[in-house]
Amino acid sequence: MKTFSAKAQDIERKWYVIDAENKILGKVAVEAANLLRGKNKPIYTAHVDTGDHVIIINAEKIVLSGNKETDKIYTHYTGYVGNQKIETPRKVRARRPELLLERAVRGMVPHNKLGDAIYKKLKVVVGAEHGHEAQQPETYEIA
């Protein structure tokens, strides 16, 4: 028996739309990361980008469970002395609501060149309209 390994030319990519309205951030991010990596396909190969394109709409209406809206913190250090930036999801949502989903999905894909290629297939949109109708995306429902 031989081990199957997917090739880049064998992969057929689809487009999926996920509506994040009133959905929990982590659940949407997990489903999006699995679609981006291609883990739902039988030809999944860990070292090859076998995933699909994902569009997430209504990013501003995502829900965080528990007290995470005020208690969770995102920390960023600029490299300068005393320039550690700390934000809560409430501040991030006011400034740039799509960033919450982008950060969550980015943490779930590999942190290397393959992960960079996978992450580029994610499109997060504020509002219900997206500019990818020409790709004929399918709606993906999260339970």
Q: Please tell me the pTM assigned to this model.
A: 0.92
> Could you tell me which CATH class the domain 13-64+94-139 is placed in?
alpha beta
Q: Is 111 left (phi over 0), alpha (psi -120 to 50) or beta?
A: beta
pLDDT of residue 143 exceeding 90: no
Confidence of residue 1 (pLDDT cuts 50, 70, 90): confident
Q: Helices 98-106 and 25-37, interaxial angle, to 10°?
A: 50
Contacts of 116-120 with C-beta under 8 Å, sequence gap 24+, read 117/49, 118/36, 118/37, 118/49, 118/51, 119/36
Give the whole-angstrom CA distance, residue 95 versus residue 103. Answer: 14
**Nearest partner of 62 among 96, 87, 34, judged by Cα:** 96
Per-residue pLDDT reduced to its tens digit, 46-104? 999 999 999 999 999 999 999 999 999 999 999 999 999 999 999 999 999 999 999 99
Identify the pLDDT of residue 88. Answer: 96
**Whole-angstrom Cα Rg for the chain:** 17
Identify the pLDDT of residue 23. Answer: 97
Tokens of 137: 């995306």
Tokens of 113: 């060149």
Identify the pLDDT of residue 127. Answer: 95
Spell out the domain ranges in the chain: 13-64+94-139
